[in-house]
Amino acid sequence: MKEDYRAGLREKKRIVIKIGSSSLTHSETGDLNLLKIERLVRIISDLMGRGKEVILVSSGAVAAGRQALGHRKKPERLAERQAYAAIGQARLMMVYQKIFSEYNQTAAQILLTKNTMLSDASRYNAQNTFEELLKLKAVPIVNENDTVSTSEIPMLDHFGDNDRLSAVVAALVGADLLILLSDIDGLYSDDPRTNPNAEMISLVPEITEDLLAMGKATSGSDVGTGGMAAKLAAARIATDSGCDMVIANGENVENVSDILGGAQKGTLFLAHPNRNFDLISYIHYEY
């Protein structure tokens, strides 16, 4: 049965891929891992060549800003983080634009905030922009606009992590599949970093309250922000909107190709469309 569900991923047409900062950077320095970014771009370009529509939700603006300024430590002050993001977002897009162009693809930048999604007019315009870019065969590259949306009060006016942002994007555009590339192989019964007996869960037919209780808002990296609790929140948004979701290890970006080939990689959360799904209510209360 698991194989049947996995085989169905081969037919997915509209795919959102999220990659976190810890998967985009060198663990030793926090600098951008250009080789890994190039591999990811090549995989996405190949998917485009197969007729897929791909949206990339990419972290890394603050990390790129740190690299540009020669700072190794994660910023602690709000203004410092916003400045790093302003510098780094331009650097990050420059890298993506350059590498995508080498594969004859066009990358486009979309910066979102929580307030963008809460405003009917802004949300409608964002949705139309996504649709037009996909129609033009461009690759939308999405990030949260940290220069204006980062708040001193957590989650007040920002998403807080790109796991949940990617799920909101997937719901907004009616994606078939959301792939979260993280620093962990998938969903475990416990934190495998601290419990060697933790077992990986390969298939989640439905997200229950007990499953949500397993999530722990921790991260093993000094460049990432999203823990397992955030990923489970993302899974609830995506699956309730009718989108399958897979959590997989971003250390090997080739996992994207394997997942879309039906391989048993990561944890697959099956879509179970909620007739009463309302994206606004999820943005308001899910976090």
- Residue 136 has φ and ψ, to the nearest 5°, of -85, 5
User: How does pLDDT run across 246-258, given as a tens digit for each residue?
Assistant: 999 999 999 999 9
Lowest mean pLDDT among 19-23, 94-98, 169-173, 251-255: 19-23
Query: Per-residue pLDDT tens for 88-142?
Result: 999 999 999 999 999 999 999 999 988 888 889 999 999 999 999 999 999 999 9
Q: How far apart are alpha carbons 67 and 58 in whole angstroms?
A: 17
Q: Which positions ≥6 away from 111 have C-beta within 8 Å?
A: 89, 142, 143, 144, 145
- Percent of the chain's residues with pLDDT above 70: 89
Which structural domain, as residue segments, surrounds residue 55?
A: 2-285
User: Cα(255)–Cα(179) distance, rounded to whole angstroms?
Assistant: 10
d(CA 149, CA 104): 33
Between CA 152 and CA 159, with CA 155 as vertex, the angle to 5 degrees is 120
> What is the b/e burial string over 117-130, where b = at least 16 CB atoms within 10 angstroms of the residue's CB?
beeeeebeebeeeb
Record the pTM.
0.90
What pLDDT is stored for residue 284 in this prediction?
A: 66
Residue 91: CB atoms within 10 A of its CB come to 17
Residue 256 belongs to domain with CATH number: 3.40.1160.10
Q: Is the pLDDT of residue 56 over 90?
A: yes
Number of structural domains (the chain) is: 1
| 158 confidence band (pLDDT: 50, 70, 90) | low
pLDDT tens across 206-260, in order? 988 878 777 654 444 444 444 788 889 899 999 999 999 999 999 999 999 999 9
Which of helix, strand or coil describes residue 96?
helix
d(CA 181, CA 58): 10
Position 237 scores a pLDDT of 93
Query: Which pLDDT value is given to residue 286?
Result: 47
| DSSP 8-class letter at 208 | -
**Phi/psi at 167 (5° precision):** -70, -40
Note the pLDDT of residue 184: 86
Instruction: Determine contact, residues 61/142, Cβ cutoff 8 Å.
Output: no
Higher pLDDT pick, 29 / 72: 29
Tokens of 146: 């940290």
- The band of 41, judged by pLDDT with boundaries at 50, 70 and 90, is very high
